[in-house]
């Protein structure tokens, strides 16, 4: 698999492209609450999505939850999904904690998705519900989620710093669920929304090996 610096995960063999946490319409939510937010963000999301689709020409586009930001952006999110659907053979939308009935009743969403037998996609806001489902986890080796908006802050020690979205790779020796003793590795996708890049890194559990990959414009690099 390849991590694209634009915030997407690409599998060249199976030709699927995955992103999480678009939070489409975030600035609309903030402006309705009285915030002085510019009308920027949705255009950036559309531009990067279109560029990624043109570049990779995926068979499947997997949007791993929190596609919309709130019920106030339902119409805009529906318009986005309707525009994406003809561009890929399969558009797979997963339900996150920000999806609202205004969108869920008018578009098909799934709680989880399996790909290539090994990969289990879900948003990550209610992991135990998914991990305790034998149909979801059977023979899976890796769960890929969003939700956390992982980011890292780099500084030069003299007052200059920058925060970058990141992919987290966690390898755990612990059992995946109450019904299985097989470890299930966990990758956490960077947030695709330019407004959502800055969450705290989830604390790794005991004996979990963790690697962090930061995304900066056209470059991806490992962070110690």
Q: Which domains does the chain have, with CATH numbers?
A: 2-223 (3.60.21)
Pairing of β 119-122 and β 142-145: parallel
> How many CB atoms are located within 10 Å of the residue 104 CB?
14
> How many CB atoms are located within 10 Å of the residue 205 CB?
12
Over its length of 224 residues, how does the chain's per-residue pLDDT go in tens digits? 999 999 999 999 999 999 999 999 999 999 988 988 888 899 999 999 999 999 999 999 999 999 999 999 999 999 999 999 999 999 999 999 999 999 999 999 999 999 998 999 999 999 999 999 999 999 899 999 999 999 999 889 899 999 999 999 999 766 555 455 556 899 999 999 999 877 776 677 777 899 999 999 889 999 97
Whole-angstrom Cα distance, residue 154 to residue 59? 36
Q: What is the pTM of this model?
A: 0.93
Check if the beta carbon of residue 144 is closer than 8 Å to that of residue 189: yes
DSSP per position, the chain? -EEETTTEEEETTTTEEEEB---BTHHHHHHHTT----S-SHHHHHHHHHHHHHHH--SEEEE-S--BSSGGGHHHHHHHHHHHGGGSSEEEEB--TT--HHHHTTS--BSEEEETTTEEEE-SSSHHHHHT-HHHHTT--EEEE-SS-BEEEEE-SSS-EEEEEEEEEEE--SEEETTEEEE-EEEEPPBSSTTSTTBPPPPP-TT-EEEEEEEETTEEEEE-
Listed residue (60, 47, 51) closest to 18, CA to CA? 60
């Amino acid at each position: 698999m390849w991590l694209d610096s634009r915030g997407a995960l690409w599998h060249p063999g199976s030709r699927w492209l995955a992103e999480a946490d678009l939070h489409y319409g975030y600035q609309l939510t903030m402006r309705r609450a009285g915030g002085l937010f510019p009308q920027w963000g949705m255009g950036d999301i559309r531009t990067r999505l279109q560029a990624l689709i043109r570049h990779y020409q995926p068979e499947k586009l997997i949007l791993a939850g929190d596609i919309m930001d709130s019920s106030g952006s339902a119409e805009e999110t529906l318009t986005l999904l309707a525009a994406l659907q003809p561009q890929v053979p399969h558009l797979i939308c997963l339900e996150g904690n920000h999806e609202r009935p205004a969108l869920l009743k008018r578009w098909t969403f799934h709680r989880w998705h399996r790909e290539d037998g090994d990969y289990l996609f879900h948003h990550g806001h209610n992991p135990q519900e998914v991990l305790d489902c034998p149909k979801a986890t059977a023979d899976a080796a890796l769960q890929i989620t969003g939700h956390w908006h992982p980011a890292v802050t780099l500084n030069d020690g003299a007052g200059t710093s920058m925060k970058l979205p990141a992919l987290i790779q966690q390898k755990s020796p612990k059992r995946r669920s109450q019904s299985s003793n097989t470890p299930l590795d966990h990758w956490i996708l960077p947030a695709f929304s330019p407004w959502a890049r800055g969450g705290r890194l989830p604390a790794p559990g005991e004996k979990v090996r963790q690697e962090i990959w930061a995304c900066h414009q056209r470059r991806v690099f490992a962070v110690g």
